[in-house]
Structure 1
Amino acid sequence: MPVDTDLPERFLSMLAAERGAAANTLAAYRRDLEAAREVLGDVASADTKALEGLGSAWSGLAASSLARRCSALRQFYGFLIDEGLRADDPSGALPRPRARRPLPRLLSHEEVERFIATADDEAAAGRPEAVRLLALLELLYGSGLRATELVSLPLAAVPRDAPFLHVTGKGGQQRMVPVSTRAAAVLSRWLAVRKSASRFLFPSRGASGHLTRVRLFQLLRELAARADIDPERVSPHVLRHAFATHLLEGGADLRVLQMLLGHADIATTQIYTHVDSARLVALVNSRHPLAGGKVV
């Protein structure tokens, strides 16, 4: 087939238009296709023999990175076939790494309580920066938001009557996330000291944009140090993991958890089923119809 340097961009445009792929996803796929071009030359016309060579060319990559690159290429070749630009599918020759998803890092209940207590103490004097950090922390652990979802929350997303946040997640998917009474109270405190005309709930300093994910990460690690928690164990995503795991430990339904987290696939949510095995045994013994030797 003829070389068409615009094909990768056409593929990315399709992902954005038809599948609602997020900007970060599109940027990752663009990098993956560029990495393939460095090895293959024209990616669109590469044959199976060329693709077989990617295993050795990318042997230094982590299994997860290799899996992502191969996934991007499979979807790209599928796009070419769907568009009638290629009759064969060479993606069967791609490496097939066995990427094992690691269990998420976790904070214990006691550590989360100490983390929040430290932020609460610092916010007691009403200093805006401290109240903001407490609000950020309450929403990360209390609602399970992703870092990007949290920092980019518009002011209009704050609940007025109903205790829910309107969140725009990955791929532009919208969902409603419950806000606890405690988090709602902290949000009210933040709004009372927030001095900005920005449309964002957590505006950046001296600009019309919002707080960045990098700054959120820094603020949490600084707070962790003050709370006597290893900063290396703390990130926005770790608090999201804590939200999910602690809810599941409390008996939350996996489907409900999927909805709260905004996961498109229940398989993503199932990583949180690594809860205490003893609790699961106790749950079966107490709730199953045959528990105690009789049908309830």
Structure 2
Amino acid sequence: MNNAGEQLISDVVGYISELVPIHVEEVKSKLSAITARYHIQRIKEDETHPDLHEKIDFFLASKKLEGLSQITLDGYRRELGIFAGKVKKRAKDISAADIRVYLGSLNGIKMSTIGRKLSALKSFFSWLAGEEIIQRDPTAKLKPPKTEKRLPKALGIEELEMLREGCQTVRQRAFIEMLYATGCRLSEVHQLNRDSINFQAMSTNVIGKGNKEREVYLPFKAIYHMKKYLSTREDDCKALFVTERKPYRRLTKRGIQCEIKRIAKNVGLESRVSPHVMRHTFATLTLNNGAELVAVQELLGHSSPDTTLRYARITEERKREQHKKFLVQ
């Protein structure tokens, strides 16, 4: 028997002897015969319990089968790995107090970041409880921290036109029109192929979060600039947006971001514009123009209308117009 096994027997016998009178050597002998059939390993105080890592791997495998994106899975793995490195216990032994102490020890970070970390822990422990791997969810009564509510950044109509004027190539203009007209996420635009665009129906299908497919639409202006860009292509790469230099290949998400920044820099909007700002702009301007919330929700690929409501902030001009139009005098 190894040292870990002997120490375990001594600890157990010592504990039992405090409760009831026993013959110490006889109990040790019987326990030795039982534990001889097992491999016992002592967990060091500064070592993460392997049980927690095992449960994290089970959780990630399950979420992958549910269709979560690799980006989301990587985020879960990172956050849960940090937690496991701090709270060195078996999953079933972790309490709400352990989680509070862990979150409270995180200094110098924003409340929104703490909220994101808690969200990952809630997903993990609620899954463990739902699978009956643990008896109770220690995060069930933990509420996310209050965060400052900031309006999503969005361009005004004038700034949008400035951005269009700042395009120096047909490819740049195609970027702007595609991102604004569809309200697509960067990842959704990145994966589009040339044959993805149905020019006759003036639409395309994209794969969003949760591997969900939806149809988005392209107005005449976007169709015109997309055709103009594709007519300059002499390569046989299937990607919708490709690199400018040979060998032509699908432009990376980072490449699209850099191109948008380059356009914005031309007109002094560098600090204001990103692919996600274009998505916000689509949502805000469309809602301000009278679109129904449910329709915009579907176009953006949001699973909940609450997410779309973040964009339902009308301009001062629009508020004045609505007040004048609907006030009963």
Identical amino acids, percent of aligned pairs: 29
Equivalent residue number for residue 208 of structure 2? 169
1:29 aligned residue: 76
RMSD over aligned Cα atoms = 2.2
Q: Hey, what does 1:126 align to over in structure 2?
A: none
Q: Which amino acid aligns with 1:236?
A: P
Structure 1 alignment gaps of length 5 or more: 123-129
Structure 1 residues 223 and 69: alpha-carbon distance in aligned structure 2, compared to 1, 3 A threshold: same
Letter in 2 for 1:217: Q
Paired with 2:259 and 2:53, the residues of 1 have a C-alpha distance of 43
**Residue 80 (str. 1) matches residue 120 (str. 2):** no
Structure 1 residue 269: deviation in Å? 0.6
Q: 1:115 aligns with which of 139, 149, 163?
A: 163
Alpha-carbon deviation of 1:47? 2.4
SS of residue paired to 1:167: strand
TM-score normalised by length of structure 1: 0.86
Q: Take 1:246 and 1:43, find their aligned partners in 2: how far apart are those partners?
A: 50
- 1:213 is matched with 253
Tell me, in whole angstroms, the C-alpha distance in 2 between the residues paired with 1:140 and 1:278.
Answer: 25
Deviates more, 1:175-184 or 1:98-107: 98-107
| C-alpha deviation, 1:167, in angstroms | 0.9
**1:283 offset after TM fit, Å?**
2.7
AA matched with 1:164: S
Give structure 2 stretches of 5+ with no counterpart: 1-48
The alpha carbon displacement at 1:16 in A equals 2.2
C-alpha displacement at 1:209, in angstroms?
A: 5.0
C-alpha displacement at 1:117, in angstroms? 2.0
Task: Tell me, in whole angstroms, the C-alpha distance in 2 between the residues paired with 1:253 and 1:96.
Answer: 30
In the comparison of the two structures, how many residue pairs are matched? 279
> Following TM superposition, by how much is the alpha carbon of 1:151 offset from its aligned partner in structure 2, in angstroms?
1.7
What is the deviation of 1:242? Answer: 1.2
Q: Mean Cα displacement is larger for which, 182-191 or 1-10?
A: 1-10
Question: Matched residue of 1:232: which SS?
Answer: coil
CA distance in 1: counterparts of 2:142 and 2:86, whole angstroms: 13
Q: Which structure: larger Rg?
A: 2
Alpha-carbon distance in structure 2 between the residues aligned to 1:279 and 1:252: 13
Q: Is the Cα contact below 8 Å between 1:106 and 1:238 reproduced in 2?
A: yes
SS at match of 1:177: strand
1:244 to 283, 295, 313: 283
How far is the alpha carbon of 1:235 from its aligned partner?
Answer: 0.7
In 2, distance between residues paired with 1:137 and 1:11?
Answer: 39
